[in-house]
Chain A
Amino acid sequence: MSQTVTHKLMLYFPKCECEKPIIYHLVKDYNLIVNVYRARVTPEEEGYLVLDVTGTPADIEKGMAFVRTFNVTINHTGKGVTRDEERCTHCGQCVAHCPTKALHMPNQVTREVLYNEAECIECLACIRVCPFGACASAF
């Protein structure tokens, strides 16, 4: 059995696809483990979903092919939370509030704040505490 891998994805469901149980089929038919960070259905009935998908590369590929048969956009960068590099002043206010250290300050000399989006669990704390509006949610 080949090794499993984990991909972080952001899926966008237009109105017409919002009521279909697509994630259920990823689990049942494609043997994938899903870990949902954040999901939202807008008042316009569009859906956004940020999740980890774990499985063998072959199963993930098949699962994604299944998702693509719907009118769903797959964003492989999984960027539900983004940081505007230009707005960030590197003050470090977010660092104390970020539970997974996705926002961190590894270099003690320059004290630059870095953002490792793979570690982000989309709690949105950074958006609430950043005085400069540097962090934003895609939905």
Chain B
Amino acid sequence: MKTYEQINKRIESGKAVVLTADEIMDYVDKKGLKAAAEEVDVVTTATFGPMCSSGCFLNFGHSAPKIRMSEAWIEDVLVYTGIAAVDVYLGATQLRHGDPANMYPPGEFRYGGGHVIEDLVAGKTLQLFALSYGTDDYPRREIRTYFTIDDLNQAIMVNPRNCYQNYNVAINDSDRTIYTYMGTLEPDRKNATYCSAGQLSPLLNDPYYETIGVGTKVWLAGAQGHVYAEGTQHAGVCERTPDGVPTEGAGTLALTGDMKRMKPAFVRGASLRGYGISLALGVGVPIPILNEQILKRTCVRDRDILAPVIDYSSDYPQKTGKVIAKVSYEQLRRGEIEIDGKTIAVGSLSSYYKALEIAHLLADEVRKGDFLLAEPIARLPQDGAMKPLVIREKAS
């Protein structure tokens, strides 16, 4: 048994024993659970993939004379201004003004909110255009200027839903190509897409949210951020394997961090043909090895994690709840799965390569004493399932 304080003292003294979530299984197999739990302080987990529910609050400071900004665009991408004078919220999936979307399907969605966020972090010069109705205290009614992230007072990423605990495998059972947030899916189950770092993924290494909670410090694209709430659609009640590993979406995290400290390599705008814009983001979460049970759960392997295969041509959009099959990440990573006797080529939207890089970067930061752990101030809910949206004829 260890405490957060003890682990942080070892980190500060540069003596912490840190392994990544893909190294820990073999280490525990070799050393035994008991000895390893005493020895290992931290296991680092990570993920890199599209996380649509991402965005940022930006503060521009005031021009002379001042403007309240009641409508604003950055690089022609609309930002939300229904907050204080020169604060805006930029969402990852916002399209650029004039984007034809799916008017001539499939739309290409070349540039949008996710790309603006990428360009901000990359230090590029961007155009701000804002309008206002004019007030006595904020008389200016229009502004056009150019800025970089360094000109902003704050650029704080605030992501309501990141790090899905597990995720669907998408296939297409119809006879035409479909375009989804899981990528392009060819007809007749020709290909499948999954989107999870599997055995490296944060919440799959802490399936009951024993260490990852509100207040947990995370590595967010290179910045030290934290979990500020349960993520939207967080559903602790879900189907689980006997070892407790969810076999469907389940938990999510709401994350925040300072964009001025982020690394461009881990913040990437994504264009999903026929679907829209997203933001691919790198997240690392350190798991403190407080006891044997927590260590045991970090030893989860791809072969132990099952993902539901869902038909995105019908069952997903129509919300039938039908699961065609369950497959392990070990099977998915082979590049082919077999369902009903048919071999299906498998691609991924989540980069294991980048996730591994992040797990190692975070491990190095912890080893060097640059990244201390934070004890959660509240646990993520373990109860609560995902509620549907009910269509009512009238207000009751």
Contacts and interface: CB of A to CB of B under 8 A. Distances in A.
Contact of B193 (A89, A96, A108): A96
A96 to B, nearest CB: 3
B78 to A, nearest CB: 22
A127 B184 CA distance: 12
Contacts of B193: 93, 96
Interface stretch (A5-13, A18-26, A129-137): A129-137
A128 interface: yes
A14 interface: no
Nearest to A110: B353
Interface string A105-125: 100101111000000000000
Contacts of A97: 184, 186, 191, 345, 347
Interface string B260-290: 0000000011111100001010000000000
A53 to B, nearest CB: 31
Contacts of A110: 353, 356
B49 interface: yes
B335 A132 contact: no
A84 to B, nearest CB: 12
B350 interface: yes
A53 B353 CA distance: 36
A91 interface: yes
Contacts of B268: 89, 132
B183 A111 contact: no
Contacts of A90: 351-354
A95 interface: yes
Given A96-B347, A129-B184, A131-B183, A105 B356 contact: no
Contacts of B280: 89, 91, 131-132
A131 B272 contact: yes
A115 to B, nearest CB: 14
Contact of B345 (A96, A105, A108): A96
A96 B189 CA distance: 12
Interface residues of A, number: 20
B128 interface: no
B49 A91 contact: yes
Q: How large is the interface on B (under 10, 10 to 19, 20 to 34, 35 or more residues)?
A: 20 to 34
A18 B247 CA distance: 58
A84 B275 CA distance: 23
Interface centre among A89, A90, A108, A111 (most CB of B within 10 A): A89
Contacts of B90: none
A93 B269 CA distance: 15
B349 A91 contact: yes
B348 interface: yes
Contacts of A131: 50, 183, 270-272, 278, 280, 349
Nearest to B182: A93
Nearest to B273: A128
Contact of B271 (A89, A94, A112, A133): A133
Given A89-B268, A96-B345, A97-B191, A128 B353 contact: no
A89 B347 contact: no
B10 interface: no
Nearest to B48: A89
Nearest to A99: B345
Nearest to B277: A131
Given A91-B349, A132-B271, 19 more contacts: A89-B48, A90-B351, A90-B352, A91-B49, A91-B351, A92-B352, A93-B347, A97-B184, A97-B191, A97-B345, A97-B347, A110-B353, A111-B333, A111-B356, A112-B353, A128-B184, A129-B183, A129-B184, A132-B268
7 contacts: A89-B48, A89-B280, A93-B348, A105-B335, A112-B353, A132-B269, A132-B280
Interface of A: 89-97, 105, 108, 110-113, 128-129, 131-133
Interface of B: 48-50, 110, 183-184, 186, 191-193, 268-273, 278, 280, 333, 335, 345-354, 356
Please list the 10 inter-chain residue pairs (A to B) with the smallest Cβ-Cβ separation, ordered nearest first: A96-B347, A90-B353, A131-B270, A111-B352, A96-B345, A92-B348, A91-B351, A96-B191, A89-B351, A93-B347
